[in-house]
Each structure stands twice: as C-alpha cells, then as structure tokens.
Chains A and B, each alone.
Chain A
C-alpha cells in the first residue's frame, strides 16, 4: 500500500475517534449553572449569587451556562437535549409547578432535596403553598429563589392624573376608563403578542377574574369545565379588551408594549412584575411615573411565577451543586438576588427595606393573598397544554370566535390528560 494510503487511513481513524478524545475531564472542581438569565437585572442578580458562592466555596470554578431568548423557550430546548443525552448541568433554572414536576420529576430526572431543605429550615420560612408547588409525593425537588407576580395592571401615572382617572378594579371599570382614554385619543391598552404567550398571559388573568381563585385552580384539575359559563364569559371579556389594544400588537413583544407606556403612547398594560424591572431600568419610579394594581377582578389573589433550582440525577459535581442550592435558598442569597432581578424573596424573612415600593407592596400581598399558579409560565399545567393554550389564544385574538376557542381548549385539556 502506498504511503499516501496510510496517511489517509490514519486521518480517517483520527476523525472517527476525535469526538471521544475531546470529552472533558469530569474531575475538575467546577459548578455549571444553566439558566436563561442573560439580560440586565436578571444577569446582575445571578452574578450576585455567584459572588456569594465564590466567597463561601473558594476554589470552585463556576461555569455560567446561559441561553438567551424569549422567556426561556430556547434555553429549555437546549436543556432537554442535554438531559436526554445524559449530560445534565449541575443545577438548572426551572419554573416551579408543572414544568418541574411533569417534565423532570415524574420522568425520573431529578433527585429529591428534602433532606437539604430540612437542614436549612426552608419549610419554616417559605409559604406552604409555595413549597407545595415544588413538591411531589411528599418530597421537595427544587428550591424557589424568587417569586414574581403574574396578575398586575400597570399604568402611566401622568396620563391617569391628567384625565382624573383611577386604576380600575373590575373589567367593567376598565372598559369605562378605556372609553374615556380613547375619547382623548390615547390608546387605552398596550399589548405586544408577537411571541404568543403575552396574549395568553392577559387571558390567564381574565380567566382568573371570571372564575375566582378556586374556579381557576379547577381548570388544571378537570373540576372547572372549559366548555362552561365562566370560560365563555372570560373569552367574551377578552374580545372586548382586545378592541382597546394598539393595532400593531402582533408586531411587538412584551417589553416593547411596556415601552409604549413610557413613551406616553398608551395608558395601561397587563403583565407580570418583570415589567417593574423594565420600568426601573428606564429610570421610572413606582407611584411617581407608573402606578400598579392587581389586574382587574383579581384583587386578593396572587398569580405565582417562581424560578427555582433543582438537583439533576447524575449531576457531574453533586456536592458543589448541593452547596449552590444552599446559597440559592439562603436569606443572604435571596436578599442579594431579588432586588436586582426585580422580584420578591421566596422566603418571608427577607429585609424588605432593600426593596422598592412596588416590591414591598407585592410582598405584602404575597403573604396575605390566595396563591394560584400561572399556566402560561409553566406552573399550573403540563407544557403540552401550555403550547396549545398559547396557540388557541393566538387564533382567538384575530378571529374572536368564542365557541371555537372553547371547543379547542376542551380538546387540548383532554389531550393533555387534565380532563376526560
């Protein structure tokens, strides 16, 4: 055989072996944290947690594995590939509730952390409803690091004061306020639903207003029928609300809608309280530039969106990951993380003087209100249902066909095995 032939064969063999040779040594003292916190305050908050970790556990190299993009949808796709490929990070960000339990716990990818929770005394300082959201069959599977509120109405204070308006507490009042604003040539409601979930988020709050906390909870257990009166009323209200939104809503995403308030082009917006983080980043102050109230008809209830960290089975650096969970659940960690992220502590013993007026009011409501899980943000229903829910609302926004939407919701509910 010619010399060239030998070289070619060696090269071919080398190419075949290359992937196995580049696998990293798992022995290094590292900690890989996977999240979708890449922007502004959320990245700052994550770094604050990292700093505390470095101080307590020097010598551990932290690998910050983040994937950018809309509410974590891209990151989740990457994470799923890694988990199925048997290459989990040491710990990853996951919404408490169905996203954690249905996607990861029931499928056997997670390790319970009840023992760590007991050592750290988390059950004593976190509300029972919240611990419930991250538990399955009596075991706790992740540690909540923050709480966001999903049902908030934001408004431009100046536009409201100039026109002698007050924040509506019911959707009927909302329509009166909206009429007044429209007659003055102001767009009443800012909406940006290019990513679909934003309109679904609004509808979730309308559902809650129409059904009340218990009726709303029943939607995810099959006790409240999707074909019933309450859902029909919610859809009809939703159709009316949409007639007061900006016409270019399909071209915008949620923060561009919030920007319409800042620019004075629209007066109200319904969004989770990450909007407050956006206001802050633009120099707007609560009760000075912007006002806030529970979304109409939802006073006394608190739609919980919680970010948590769990412990995947076969985490490459298990001990480091456990130490990370301790930091994420600690008072010190949460007090450092949350003011930057624009959310409140999952613990009830945080020093609230470190938080602004909006977050203080949110924390007050959190300790008193009925807590209900958010569907759009992964806590109430399996992801199978969540994507279909978004699709159905997206079609409804254009067609406003109540009967068709109710039929589709019922079918999706059956398909996700939430109802029969």
Chain B
C-alpha cells in the first residue's frame, strides 16, 4: 500500500528527465543520423534521402583521411603517455613523500583549466620563434630548437604534449587511489615469497590496477576521440591538416561551409568511434552487475 503511494511521485519526478534525455540525446542522435543521409548541402534544409553518398564522399576526401589518421595517432600516443606518466607519478607519490598534498595538487591543477586556455598557452609556448625555443636559445641549448607544430610530420605530437600535460594528473590521482586500496598484507606476502620490487609491480600491483587502467582508458579515450577545443585553440588544422581532427572538420563543414549533411555524417562517424570504445565496456559491466 505505502509502496504504491511512493511510486507515483517517484515516477512523476523521473518523467521530465527521461523525456528530456529521450528528446535531447537520443532524439537528436536520430535526427543527426537522418540528416547525414540527406542532401542538405546549402543553408536551405533539404531532407531528400540520398543514401550513403555523404559517407562515401567523406571517406574519399583527403582531409577526412588525414583526420582519421590523426585521431588514431593522437589517441594511442595520448593514452600511452597519460597512463605511463600518471602511473609513474602515482608510484612516486605513494612513497609517502613529504608535502604529498602539495605535489598532488600541483599535478592535478592543470585539469581544472579549460582546454581552450591550455590550447592558447601551449600554442604560445611551442611557437617556433617565441616560447620554449627562445628559452633554449638563451641558455645555450639552441640545438634543441624544434619547429614543433609548424612541421607537418611532428605537429600532432605538440598537441599530444599539451593534452598529456592537462590530463596526466587525472590518471595519477586514479592510480594513487588504486595503490592506496591494495591491501598491505598482499604486498607483504609477495615480499615474503621473495619477489623483487620489479616483480612485485609487474605481477601483483599492475594486474590489481587493471580496472583502474580500464576506467582511465574509457574516460581519456572518449575525450581524445571527440577532442575539439584544444586543437581549435592551439593549432587549428595545422599545415596540410597535420593536426586536424574530425571535431574541427565537423565544425567548419557545418557552420562555415553550410554543408549540413556532410557535417552530420562526420558527427555520426565520431559517435561510432566513441561507441567502439564504450559499448564493450558497458556490456561487460552490465553483465557483471547482473551476475552479482
């Protein structure tokens, strides 16, 4: 009796957000998918069905091919850099150093800055004729000068550098929490069995941290697949699209070029890229939850 009386307000309270999510998330995903199959290529909405033409044309353009290459390179190097650097920092901080709280904050701080600000700062730091290069010259290390993001072959790594600076603190914090969660007895047992420090990390700590690594990959991975603001502020498309990403291409195609159908197609490809990463994760977690 009382359960039924509680249920009505609960349902009524939930309905608005369910409706909102249904319309503004899933409804618009459906709408975008529909537009991506239409012939809407001017400012006048034209929803005539053209099938997969937009996708075929998209994958044939030089710029989108460069975008996909850049996304792969960016995601792999950015993830690797963040995980390795974050893990090393966490291990170092886990040695109960003095002033740990200070270091923790210093490393986490960049995360509180928006990507736009990071982009502007690093665009200046890595500017070939000012910033770091000028500094190197002044201290007599002129040989280390680099063209950074003006050289097409290495430009993307300049953006990776900025993104890693921003987010390796986040992986550090996650790993640190994970390290603190490992029961001391487990490590003691391994030490008693004669494991070296290296073996301890290799066979005990790292496997135990696997769920954390997975969460970090999910969070960072979807950021890097959808990245827009950092690249937009820092380098734009770069010389010959060496730092272009689907997000920037989508923005320019849709809002500068008025090619709404093609822009929607890019957005759908981005959604699919993220889905490739997220769906297996969601699937495995729901299966786990069902089991417990």
Instruction: Please report A residues at the B interface, Cβ cutoff 8 Å.
Output: 1-2, 4-5, 8-9, 12, 15-16, 73, 76-77, 80, 102-104, 106-108, 194-196, 247-251, 382-384, 386-388, 391, 394-395, 397-399, 408
CB distance from A415 to the nearest CB of B (A): 8
Which residues of chain B (209-263) have a CB below 8 Å from chain A? 235-242, 251-253, 255-259
CB distance from B260 to the nearest CB of A (A): 10
* Residue among A4, A12, A80, A250 with max Cβ neighbours from chain B (10 Å): A250
**B147 touching A247, Cβ below 8 Å:** yes
**A12 touching B259, Cβ below 8 Å:** no
Additional 15 contacts, C-beta under 8 A, given A2-B9, A383-B256, A408-B62? A1-B5, A102-B42, A102-B43, A196-B237, A247-B150, A248-B128, A251-B127, A383-B257, A384-B41, A384-B42, A387-B252, A387-B253, A394-B237, A395-B63, A398-B152
Contacting residues, chain A, for B251 (C-beta < 8 A): 77
16 pairs, A vs B, C-beta closer than 8 Å: A2-B9, A4-B9, A12-B13, A76-B255, A77-B251, A102-B43, A103-B43, A107-B42, A107-B43, A247-B147, A248-B127, A248-B128, A251-B148, A387-B253, A394-B237, A395-B241
**A251 touching B150, Cβ below 8 Å:** yes
**A9 touching B128, Cβ below 8 Å:** no
A250 vs B41: C-alpha distance when bound (angstroms): 30
**A395 touching B240, Cβ below 8 Å:** yes
**A5 touching B9, Cβ below 8 Å:** yes
**B241 touching A394, Cβ below 8 Å:** yes
**B239 touching A384, Cβ below 8 Å:** no
**A8 touching B12, Cβ below 8 Å:** yes
* A248 contact from B13, B16, B150, Cβ within 8 A: B150
A248 vs B253: C-alpha distance when bound (angstroms): 27
* B128 contact from A2, A102, A251, A387, Cβ within 8 A: A251
Contacting residues, chain A, for B252 (C-beta < 8 A): 387
**B240 touching A5, Cβ below 8 Å:** no
Contacting residues, chain B, for A108 (C-beta < 8 A): 44
Contacting residues, chain B, for A397 (C-beta < 8 A): 239-240
Instruction: Give the residue name and chain of the B residue nearest to A15 (CB).
Output: B16
- Interface contacts (Cβ under 8 Å), in number, total 102
Contacting residues, chain B, for A251 (C-beta < 8 A): 123, 127-129, 148-150
A4 vs B253: C-alpha distance when bound (angstroms): 49
Instruction: Give the residue name and chain of the B residue nearest to A6 (CB).
Output: B9
**B256 touching A73, Cβ below 8 Å:** yes
A408 vs B61: C-alpha distance when bound (angstroms): 10
**B257 touching A107, Cβ below 8 Å:** no
* A9 contact from B9, B148, B259, Cβ within 8 A: B9
**B16 touching A16, Cβ below 8 Å:** yes
A248 vs B130: C-alpha distance when bound (angstroms): 10
A205 vs B150: C-alpha distance when bound (angstroms): 24
B8: interface (CB < 8 Å): yes
**B255 touching A77, Cβ below 8 Å:** yes
Given contacts A1-B5, A247-B147, A248-B128, are A383 and B13 in contact (CB under 8 A)?
no
Contacting residues, chain B, for A395 (C-beta < 8 A): 62-63, 240-241
* B257 contact from A249, A384, A408, Cβ within 8 A: A384
Contacting residues, chain A, for B43 (C-beta < 8 A): 80, 102-104, 107
A252 vs B283: C-alpha distance when bound (angstroms): 46
Contacting residues, chain A, for B44 (C-beta < 8 A): 106-108
What 7 A-B pairs come out closest when comparing CB atoms?
A: A5-B9, A398-B240, A77-B255, A387-B257, A250-B150, A248-B128, A250-B239
Contacting residues, chain A, for B128 (C-beta < 8 A): 247-248, 251
A231 vs B5: C-alpha distance when bound (angstroms): 78
Instruction: Give the residue name and chain of the B residue nearest to A193 (CB).
Output: B239
A175 vs B129: C-alpha distance when bound (angstroms): 25
* A8 contact from B13, B237, B253, Cβ within 8 A: B13
**A394 touching B239, Cβ below 8 Å:** yes
Instruction: Give the residue name and chain of the B residue nearest to A11 (CB).
Output: B13
A391 vs B252: C-alpha distance when bound (angstroms): 10
A331 vs B233: C-alpha distance when bound (angstroms): 40
A2 vs B12: C-alpha distance when bound (angstroms): 13
CB distance from B122 to the nearest CB of A (A): 12
**B8 touching A5, Cβ below 8 Å:** yes
* Residue among B42, B63, B147 with max Cβ neighbours from chain A (10 Å): B42
A386 vs B252: C-alpha distance when bound (angstroms): 11
CB distance from A117 to the nearest CB of B (A): 25
A247 vs B149: C-alpha distance when bound (angstroms): 12
A4 vs B16: C-alpha distance when bound (angstroms): 17
CB distance from B271 to the nearest CB of A (A): 21
Instruction: Give the residue name and chain of the A residue nearest to B41 (CB).
Output: A384
CB distance from B182 to the nearest CB of A (A): 43
CB distance from A78 to the nearest CB of B (A): 9
A394 vs B256: C-alpha distance when bound (angstroms): 16
CB distance from A21 to the nearest CB of B (A): 16
**B16 touching A250, Cβ below 8 Å:** no
A193 vs B99: C-alpha distance when bound (angstroms): 46
Instruction: Give the residue name and chain of the A residue nearest to B253 (CB).
Output: A387
**A195 touching B149, Cβ below 8 Å:** no
**B150 touching A8, Cβ below 8 Å:** no
**A194 touching B235, Cβ below 8 Å:** yes
Instruction: Give the residue name and chain of the A residue nearest to B126 (CB).
Output: A251
**B149 touching A250, Cβ below 8 Å:** yes
CB distance from A18 to the nearest CB of B (A): 11
Contacting residues, chain A, for B148 (C-beta < 8 A): 251
* B240 contact from A4, A8, A77, A394, Cβ within 8 A: A394
Instruction: Give the residue name and chain of the A residue nearest to B242 (CB).
Output: A398
Contacting residues, chain A, for B256 (C-beta < 8 A): 73, 76-77, 383, 386-387
A108 vs B147: C-alpha distance when bound (angstroms): 48
Instruction: Give the residue name and chain of the B residue nearest to A109 (CB).
Output: B43
A249 vs B152: C-alpha distance when bound (angstroms): 13
Instruction: Give the residue name and chain of the A residue nearest to B150 (CB).
Output: A250
Contacting residues, chain A, for B41 (C-beta < 8 A): 384
**A250 touching B238, Cβ below 8 Å:** yes
**A1 touching B240, Cβ below 8 Å:** no
CB distance from A14 to the nearest CB of B (A): 10
Which residues of chain B (127-178) have a CB below 8 Å from chain A? 127-129, 147-150, 152
Instruction: Give the residue name and chain of the B residue nearest to A106 (CB).
Output: B44
A408 vs B13: C-alpha distance when bound (angstroms): 55
Given contacts A384-B257, A391-B63, are A196 and B236 in contact (CB under 8 A)?
yes
CB distance from A387 to the nearest CB of B (A): 4
**B16 touching A384, Cβ below 8 Å:** no
Interface string of B50-93 (1 = CB under 8 A from A): 00000000000011000000000000000000000000000000
